[in-house]
Structure 1
Amino acid sequence: MFNKIIKRAHAHKKSAKSGHHENSSNGQQFYEVVMKHASRTATATAPPAAANSDPLPSPSPVPLPRPLVIEHLPPLREVPSSERPSLFLRKIQLCCILCDFSDVSKNATAIEIKRQTLYELVDIVQSGSFKFTENQDDLVKMISANIFRCLPPASHENTATETGDPEEDDTFLEPSWPHLQLVYEILLRYIVSPETDIKNAKRYIDHIFVLKLLDLFDSEDMREREYLKTILHRIYGKFMVHRPFIRKAINNVFYRFIFETQRHNGIAELLEILGSIINGFALPMKEEHKLFLIRALLPLHKPKSVHTYHNQLAYCIVQFVEKDNRLAEPVIKGMLKYWPVTNCQKEVLFLGELEEVLESTQPAEFQKCMISLSRKLGQCLNSPHFQIAERALYLWNNEHIISLVAQNRSVILPIIFEALERNMQSHWNQAVHGLTVNVRKMFMEMDTELFEECQRRYLEKEAGAREQEEKRELTWKQLEAVAAQAVIG
């Protein structure tokens, strides 16, 4: 039995050598991908072999990973013109080989050769000597082989912590960026080139290609996300046939982020693209765009990490309101729906965004939501966090907001008057106290009669509350006296 096993092993080695020789005769190089696994030591003791059983063969040694070898090709300018097309194609094929950046010391030569080759391709593309009508298939295959990959686990996944905010850490740098940057530059030049024929290019830049690009937006490397943002924006502008699909795909990314993962590194970049897209919407606005605002953009106020993309989100929201003033009501009501309860930082951001929305709000739309809005502002005025109270009081410095309030003062002032008086009496922060005095004075000058009526009602309410408190205290004292007599008796 042992002799049979040895013969089979020798036969297998001979066949492997012969196959390697045949491949070498064709002038082609094949590279072996070696998967590295952690070695494990057996802790259990193997059972003793039977007396009549054949001995097991010793395990063959695992071959060590060898350094990657890439052929060094001459520059295009050093070869005759007739050989340049074939050499250019060979360079594209060479760049399809992926280098292992986990151990740069072993593959330093191969990494540098590929980087120089990519740099040469970028130089050729930028100079205009390369015609994008040729070798499109090979070029896109090379780009796809390099950029479409599994992203490494995020920092919060490595530490197994749920409380960490991955968006706050932008220090991660993609190890293969020296190659990726050049590949992204080639892709960008391919997209924006006037020589790129849309009819032919859309066979390669298709829906699957777009979806894979969107998956890469979750990269932790900010440099990669910036390139992706520019490239996807250019694709949206040039490939009109893909526009509805791109909007829908971004919509799905937002849904997955809001309702499932709550973690994504590229929300800000996607919102920047949408800000430009929304700015180009034609009027009257399509119903699908309004649904996108209500179902995708407004719920983006909900995640805890909203501070990482709030500027871009607020810009998109304001663009919608400026395009169609009738959207101010659902926007304000949506913000009130997702208004933070315990996150002071988010509340300050919401107040800033609310001011921008109110600047584009017309009186008719303001009247539909002014009651609920005034109640929320009253709560903000009395917030013990001085930044929230201060930011809410700054709203009264906006002339457009003052005009909206002045037209509806008979409804708004009775709602927030109590909050103003409480700030005057008991707020601990002097800056908030001073701003409250200014707002109170503004209302008094705006309508003295209404102000005095609100003050009279407030004093009556306070007197009634004190009277109720005195009655409760008297009732408790009577109960205590009755209980004391019962104990004595």
Structure 2
Amino acid sequence: MLKKIIKGSKKYSKSDSTVTDAGSRPPGSGNLVSDPSPNVVINHASRPGQGVPTTNSTTPAVQLPPPMTTVEPLPLLRDSPVSERQNLFLRKIQICCFQFDFNDVLKSAREKEIKRQTLLELVDFIQSGSSKITEICQEEMIKMVGINIFRTLPPAFHETTGQVASDPEEEEHYLDPSWPHLQIVYELLLRYVVSTDTDTKVAKKYIDHSFVLKLLDLFDSEDIREREFLKTILHRIYGKFMVHRPFIRKAINNIFYRFIYETERHSGIGELLEILGSIINGFALPMKEEHKLFLVRALIPLHKPKPIAMYHQQLSYCITQFVEKDYKLADTVIRGLLKYWPSTNCQKEVLFLGELEEVLEATQSAEFQRCMVPLFRQIARCLNSLHFQVAERALFFWNNEHIVSLISLNRQVILPIIFEALERNTRSHWNQAVHGLTLNVRKMFMEMDTELFEECQREFAEKEARAQEVEEQRQMTWEKLADLAAERG
């Protein structure tokens, strides 16, 4: 019995020693360091949630090579023996960790080219799947990716020029001078994420919450090429790492909140909404309360910021997806649009009207009836807009068969609301196209329900007569006041 206890104690000491040695390396550090104990297999028990490591007796131990001080070409991976590939892979990773000044094209040109060729070789190596890379190689590769892409972004155009109120559409597109290398690093990360050889249980240790947050920070890059790569990579991470999905959605929410309520400046809102469009498309029914809150608290308020034109197409798609998934959300969406309806920005009004038509096309009669009164009060105001595009876009609603059927079923409520706007357009709107469309809508209502139309006409005539009487009375009062003033003067 005593021998068994002593034997168990020795086993525990060995395991504890392994954990301590592995934990001596700073986790997440970008600098590559050599193994402090050459007889200990590197494991990563120091990472949160990892237990005592197990080693595979069939896999040779891979140790970190000593740090490289210069960038020199190395043999190709495909030409090296299989037993040496992992070590050579790590040395190539070290080359790719070197940073260069890309603002000066001629500076370190040879070293830059060596790094570029090495990155291309690593991409081919990961894509080919000819040799499965070990955990230590995966960790160092992700560290190298982070060293290259996680950086302080240059000041935005509006920050350097001071033109905070400028239209983002008119800003010049920024092109990062380091993109020839960054592009390959992003390609390497993408190939690693989508590779069938990548085990998510292993990869999630390195592509963790911190890594995802840093990726999301990069969406504010002004280089559209970088944002496109980030969009694809984050979408793949969301698809492959199910454990990260709630965290990614929450992190995107936080970006939206800051954009809406604090900065109103962010370059990647459109790309983030594109990712969410695909995510929303995959929501299961019945929809979770969490997703409905996201619609109310984040997506609908995104109609508020001034630069909505930069991302409205993607936002409209996300909103419509929600209504198509759950038609009961139509009332919530329509009232949300009315809440943020622009008062003085006619271009935003045109965008809102286009989105409203898409939402109404997916709206059922019961939900339509809940919001039709405030909705058509707003449409009536749009019909009388002096900006012809706003009035024209509102009149186009009557070209949509589904909307016309909803209006027809509820004409007793809708026609009295908009009749005055139609009459004013036929009498006095300056634009001929708006005038012609108004006559068509007016004729449609007349054919739809002649009695209702004539009743609305009578009420409008009576209202005008009363208004005329009030105006005449007001005029007479002013004349009396003028006469009194003349007598006393």
Take 1:157 and 1:413, find their aligned partners in 2: how far apart are those partners?
A: 50
Take 2:447 and 2:172, find their aligned partners in 1: how far apart are those partners?
A: 51
Partner of 1:446: 448
Equivalent positions of 1:415-430 (< 5 A) are: 415-430=417-432
Are 2:94 and 1:93 equivalent residues in the alignment?
yes
User: Using a 3 Å threshold, how does the CA distance of structure 1 residues 137 and 109 change in structure 2: closer, same or farther?
Assistant: same
Post-superposition offset of 1:77: 3.9
Are 2:280 and 1:275 equivalent residues in the alignment?
no
Deviations 1:116-158 (A, max 9, x none): 1111111222222242445111111111111111111101100
Within the candidate set 321, 325, 330, 1:323 is matched to 325
Q: TM-score, normalised by structure 2?
A: 0.85
Are 2:358 and 1:356 equivalent residues in the alignment?
yes
For residue 98 of structure 2, give the secondary structure of its aligned residue in structure 1: coil
User: Using a 3 Å threshold, how does the CA distance of structure 1 residues 139 and 301 change in structure 2: closer, same or farther?
Assistant: same
Post-superposition offset of 1:81: 4.4
Take 2:122 and 2:448, find their aligned partners in 1: how far apart are those partners?
A: 70
Deviations 1:412-448 (A, max 9, x none): 1001000000000100000000000000000000000
Equivalent positions of 1:85-124 (< 5 A) are: 85-124=86-125
Partner of 1:10: none
Partner of 1:301: 303
Within the candidate set 436, 439, 442, 2:438 is matched to 436
Q: What amino acid sits opposite 1:295 in the alignment?
A: R
8 Å Cα contact 1:375-1:416 kept in structure 2: yes
Partner of 2:10: none
Count residues with an aligned counterpart.
Answer: 424
Q: What amino acid sits opposite 2:459 in the alignment?
A: R
User: Using a 3 Å threshold, how does the CA distance of structure 1 residues 205 and 168 change in structure 2: closer, same or farther?
Assistant: farther
Moved more, 163-172 or 136-145: 163-172
Take 2:319 and 2:303, find their aligned partners in 1: how far apart are those partners?
A: 11
For residue 164 of structure 1, give the secondary structure of its aligned residue in structure 2: coil
Are 2:138 and 1:148 equivalent residues in the alignment?
no
Q: What amino acid sits opposite 2:104 in the alignment?
A: D
Deviations 1:253-293 (A, max 9, x none): 10010001100000000000101000111111110100000
Partner of 1:48: none
Take 2:66 and 2:449, find their aligned partners in 1: how far apart are those partners?
A: 93
For residue 200 of structure 1, give the secondary structure of its aligned residue in structure 2: helix
Deviations 1:375-415 (A, max 9, x none): 00000000000000000000011111111111111111001
Larger radius of gyration: 1
Equivalent positions of 1:146-295 (< 5 A) are: 146-166=148-168, 168-169=170-171, 171-295=173-297
Q: What amino acid sits opposite 1:191 in the alignment?
A: V
Post-superposition offset of 1:475: 1.5
Take 1:444 and 1:122, find their aligned partners in 2: how far apart are those partners?
A: 68
Post-superposition offset of 1:355: 0.2
Partner of 2:25: none
Take 1:27 and 1:398, find their aligned partners in 2: how far apart are those partners?
A: 70
Equivalent positions of 1:374-385 (< 5 A) are: 374-385=376-387
Q: CA RMSD in A?
A: 1.4
Post-superposition offset of 1:79: 4.0
Take 1:483 and 1:381, find their aligned partners in 2: how far apart are those partners?
A: 43
For residue 370 of structure 1, give the secondary structure of its aligned residue in structure 2: helix
Partner of 1:373: 375
For residue 221 of structure 2, give the secondary structure of its aligned residue in structure 1: coil
Take 2:339 and 2:182, find their aligned partners in 1: how far apart are those partners?
A: 42
Post-superposition offset of 1:70: 1.9
Q: What amino acid sits opposite 2:101 in the alignment?
A: D
Q: What amino acid sits opposite 2:103 in the alignment?
A: S
For residue 437 of structure 2, give the secondary structure of its aligned residue in structure 1: helix
Take 1:362 and 1:387, find their aligned partners in 2: how far apart are those partners?
A: 28
Take 2:188 and 2:481, find their aligned partners in 1: how far apart are those partners?
A: 86
Take 1:438 and 1:144, find their aligned partners in 2: how far apart are those partners?
A: 61
User: Using a 3 Å threshold, how does the CA distance of structure 1 residues 92 and 27 change in structure 2: closer, same or farther?
Assistant: closer
Take 1:211 and 1:414, find their aligned partners in 2: how far apart are those partners?
A: 53
Q: TM-score, normalised by structure 1?
A: 0.85
Post-superposition offset of 1:457: 0.6
Partner of 1:413: 415
Take 2:171 and 2:76, find their aligned partners in 1: how far apart are those partners?
A: 41
Partner of 2:30: none
Partner of 1:38: none
Moved more, 365-374 or 78-87: 78-87
User: Using a 3 Å threshold, how does the CA distance of structure 1 residues 27 and 473 change in structure 2: closer, same or farther?
Assistant: closer
Partner of 2:39: none
Partner of 2:461: 459
Take 1:236 and 1:310, find their aligned partners in 2: how far apart are those partners?
A: 23
Moved more, 86-95 or 344-353: 86-95
User: Using a 3 Å threshold, how does the CA distance of structure 1 residues 173 and 130 change in structure 2: closer, same or farther?
Assistant: farther
Q: What amino acid sits opposite 1:214 in the alignment?
A: L
Deviations 1:44-101 (A, max 9, x none): xxxxxxxxxxxxxxxxxxxxxxxxx522223234444443332221111110111111
Partner of 1:313: 315
Q: What amino acid sits opposite 1:109 in the alignment?
A: R
User: Using a 3 Å threshold, how does the CA distance of structure 1 residues 166 and 108 change in structure 2: closer, same or farther?
Assistant: farther
8 Å Cα contact 1:170-1:220 kept in structure 2: no
Are 2:391 and 1:389 equivalent residues in the alignment?
yes
Partner of 1:402: 404
